[in-house]
Each structure stands twice: as C-alpha cells, then as structure tokens.
C-alpha cells in the first residue's frame, strides 16, 4: 500500500485549478482518489453498492464545497474526513443485522481455511505475504474478523493498515486526539487477535 505521505504532490495545484472551474483538474482528482476512497468506505461499511454510492457522494460534496476548503489540513485528510463521516453516518442509520455467533461462522468455513489461519498466526517465520494473499479462505476469515469489530475500531484499523495513514492523519480525519488514536487502535488490534483466535480449529 502506498504511504499517505507520498500522495499530496500536486493536490494543492489541482485544487486551485478545480476552484477556477478546470474540469480536467477535477477529473484528475477523482481518478487519483476514487479507488482509495472507495476501498476505505467498502472496508468500513462492507457493502459494495452502498460503498459506491457513498464514494460518489463524497466526491460530489468535495467538488461542491471545494471553494470552502481553506487548506489548513491537507486535501488528502479532508477528502477522507468527508468520506469517513459519510460512511459512519450511513452505518449508524442502517439497520444492523444480528451478528452470527463465532461458532456459526466457523461452521461456514472449511477446516482448511481455519488451518491456514492457525499456521499464519502461529508461524513466527511470517510466510511470504504474496503467497499467503493467494489463499482466499484466509482473506475471508480476516475480513470477517474485521467486520466483527465495532465501527469506530474498524475505522482506525482500516485507515492505518489498509489506507496506510499515520496516527496524526487518522486523528485529523476522525477529529480526535492523537492519544485516542493510539488507544483505540491498540484495543482494536487486541480484539481482532481474540476474534481470530476464536476462529482457530
């Protein structure tokens, strides 16, 4: 995953051109961020259609209010702040379906998948991630474990481990203190570990 620090290049220039009505600059901003924004939204809300709509709404709001963007934060954190706020609001509005018990979910996964997970967690040699990524079953379990976190914890994990933001950027996106990011992320990873352990055969 590309580190967030590398993505602010040209953002200010694109934003300025966008303010002057340059549709080409607007297209570049959309192309630059659409996959990352969509991916973060999807990993938080876990519904592809909702994620597509939320991503669209994010960009529409960004472009409509770009005149009000004062540049006090980076454009990168601003756009993700809009995206995450929209997504979390959407999650709060949405009727929550009852979560299956871990036992019920375990039944849905093959013994092979859970074996893979155990090997991954217990193997201190850290198998090659590229090889491990091919294991669809492992990813499914990881995804389900992530979805079992509450939205606040899941969001910090997604922003840190999937989007690659540093703690300061996460604090800006979520509008919380740096210390809160530390403690929330720490609790999230601890909980994630417990959930994964529960999946093991």
Task: Give 8 or 35: the residue with its C-beta nearer to another protein.
Answer: 35
Task: Give 97 or 131: the residue with its C-beta nearer to another protein.
Answer: 131
Torsion, Cα of 137, 108, 101, 117 (10° steps):
-30
**CB 22, min distance to another protein, A:** 14
Asked whether 43 and 158 are in contact (CB, 8 A), the reply is yes
What residues make contact with another protein under the rule CB under 8 A? 1, 27, 30-31, 34-35, 37-39, 42-43, 48, 51-52, 55-56, 59-60, 63-65, 67-68, 120-121, 124, 126, 129, 132-133, 138-139, 142-143, 145-146, 157-158, 160-162, 166-167, 182-183, 185-187, 189-190, 192-193, 196
CA distances from 77 to 42, 97, 126, 175 (A): 18, 31, 32, 10
Asked whether 117 and 196 are in contact (CB, 8 A), the reply is yes
Task: Give 14 or 157: the residue with its C-beta nearer to another protein.
Answer: 157
**CB 125, min distance to another protein, A:** 11
Alpha-carbon dihedral sign for residues 52, 56, 59, 62? negative
**CB 74, min distance to another protein, A:** 18
**CB 73, min distance to another protein, A:** 19
> Dihedrals φ, ψ of 9, to 5°?
-60, 130
**Of 13, 157, 11, which is closest to residue 77 (Cα–Cα)?**
11
Task: Give 20 or 95: the residue with its C-beta nearer to another protein.
Answer: 20
């Amino acid at each position: 995953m590309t580190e967030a620090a590398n993505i602010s290049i040209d953002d200010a220039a694109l934003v300025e051109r966008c303010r002057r009505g340059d549709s080409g600059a607007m297209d570049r901003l959309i192309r630059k961020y659409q996959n990352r924004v969509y991916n973060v939204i999807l990993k938080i809300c876990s519904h592809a259609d909702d994620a597509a709509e939320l991503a669209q709404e994010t960009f529409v709001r960004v472009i409509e209010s770009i005149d009000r963007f004062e540049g006090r934060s980076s454009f990168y954190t601003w756009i993700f702040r809009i995206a995450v706020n929209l997504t979390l609001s959407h999650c709060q509005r949405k009727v929550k379906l009852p979560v299956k018990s871990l036992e019920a979910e375990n039944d849905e996964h093959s013994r092979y998948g859970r074996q893979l997970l155990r090997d991954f967690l217990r193997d201190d040699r850290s198998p090659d991630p590229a090889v491990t990524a091919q294991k669809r079953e492992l990813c499914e379990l990881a995804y389900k474990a992530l979805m079992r976190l509450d939205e606040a914890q899941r969001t910090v994990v997604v922003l840190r481990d999937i989007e690659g933001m540093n703690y300061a950027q996460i604090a800006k996106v979520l509008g919380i203190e740096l210390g809160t990011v530390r403690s929330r992320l720490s609790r999230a990873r601890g909980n994630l570990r417990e959930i994964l352990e529960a999946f093991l055969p």
